[in-house]
Structure 1
């Protein structure tokens, strides 16, 4: 091949690669601007520092009660492996996530709950893994949803809304309580860590956004977004009219599943690309049945 032809071929390859890269960034769930109300919820650096203090305090209290899984715990290893796959795609939704001190911990408790505090501080209760018999894809959907709340700064936005409407106290003084809802019927030590906390109820818009952003993160990391449907079906089956801590701050129901299904066509091609599959010929998603009661 002559040099001019080689240059032309290389240029075409570069342009093609750039186009594919741009497509990979622009497909999936569209990225929208975050609410301006976040600015009324306090300085982001102070908010992050308060979050860190609350998270560290929670871990210290849990360690005293031997309620924190060790680094060798198989479930914790599993959680951290899933987080490692999700985190590289978080900057699409919040560029600051590249500077976050990401942490993943597992609390020994039957509580069905999980959360991600500002700054990427993640915690799961063992109960959400065992009581729902979650697959890795379903864990990714839970984690992606919780990470989404942190990425989109929903807590700071909620604080801003409270300031505007004069409803409730500012969130800065009780950030830990905002996240640590627990089931009072569970008397174990880890659940008791947060017993005095009041759960923060996000708006329907925040919850919907977290569902979709979580689906997008999971799909890009190679987790099947259809797992989200199975997850919320399991949540509904386990709750049986008695709200779980996770559901107390994350309203469930047919509307939620309907919203996810409406946007599934946007994330399935992203998932297929991540897995090297034909988006028009994906195998069905298979969950694991709930444990027998």
Structure 2
């Protein structure tokens, strides 16, 4: 993470020996502080998202996007090798058609994303999962569509949510935390060749997209951005509420208490989505008429 102040570590009553023992901490902390910048990855959109983000300069958006290209190719290549890639032509066509409606709306949050190399694939798996890597690399698992019996609008809700993670560069925020904990990317860039660095970035992208849970803040931001994207694409934003109602029913309300989880509880999520779906209903109504 990007620390705000390192001076609090040094107290006036510290002895010379104690001060000397703090030198390594101060050096590392200073390095981390100098490697952090405030950014705003997206425009606020109609929902008014305006949180300032803190990113590490040790991992740039371009580097992470390149890592995503490698990581995505590896995931898709493995699925292809196992015979699980796009095995249901009708489902794949359906998911890609929904993506083709949502992707043109991303300019409301960031104009440059309209020119990303967007890729959409469906992996045959029982997992209740879908994700989007940096730079617009999307994967849906057949399990989430089949087990939840998703409508097109509900697929759009999930897709809008996952795309929002990519637009908001949540992976980069999480990668910044990982990088700053050990300064690992700075060490790698000096001690390894370009190929190894690219693979390290690919591993980091995979970890921060599939391997680590998103924070409550990131999940809430993506929920809110997602309903705006789907509404602008002409999908009823209230379908996002239905997704989590179905999820709660499928899990039998067995999700962990909210204070023990990095994700909002189903009840909290549904309440927030109900509020924000109402806010973007005019966008949906306008899209239906266009």
Q: Note whether the superposition's TM-score is higher than 0.5.
A: yes
CA distance in 1, matches of 2:231, 2:48: 14
Aligned to 2:142: 126
Cα distance, 1:200–1:255 mapped onto 2, change above 3 Å:
same
Q: What's the offset of the Cα at 1:110?
A: 1.0
Q: SS of 1:38's equivalent?
A: strand
Which one of 165, 174, 180 corresponds to residue 204 of structure 2? 174
2:215 is aligned, of 189, 197, 203, to: 203
Give how far 1:204 is off: 1.3
Residue 236 of structure 2 aligns to a residue whose secondary structure is: coil
- Can you give the 5+ residue segments of structure 1 that lack an aligned partner in the other structure? 1-24, 181-198, 278-293
Q: Cα distance 1:242–1:27, how it changes in 2: closer, same or farther (>3 A)? A: closer
Q: CA deviation at 1:205?
A: 1.3
Cα deviation digits, residues 30-54 of structure 1 (max 9, x gap): 242551x234461111100001101
Aligned length in residues: 229
Match of 1:32 among 50, 66, 69: 50
What SS is found at the alignment partner of 1:238?
helix
1:82-121 correspondence to structure 2 within 5 Å: 82-121=98-137
Structure 2: any 5+ residue segments left out of the alignment? Answer: 1-42, 186-199
**CA positional deviation for 1:251:** 4.2
Contact 1:232 1:252 (8 Å CA) reproduced: no
Deviation at 1:95, TM superposition (A): 2.2
Tell me how far 1:137 sits from its aligned partner: 0.5
Q: Normalising by structure 1, report the TM-score.
A: 0.71
* 1:58 aligns with one of 67, 75, 87: 75
How far apart in 2 are the matches of 1:175 and 1:27?
26
**Are positions 1:222 and 2:234 aligned together?**
yes
RMSD between aligned residues: 2.6
Distance 2:125 2:184 in 1: 29
Larger mean CA deviation between 261-270 and 99-108 belongs to: 261-270
Matched, 1:75 2:88: no
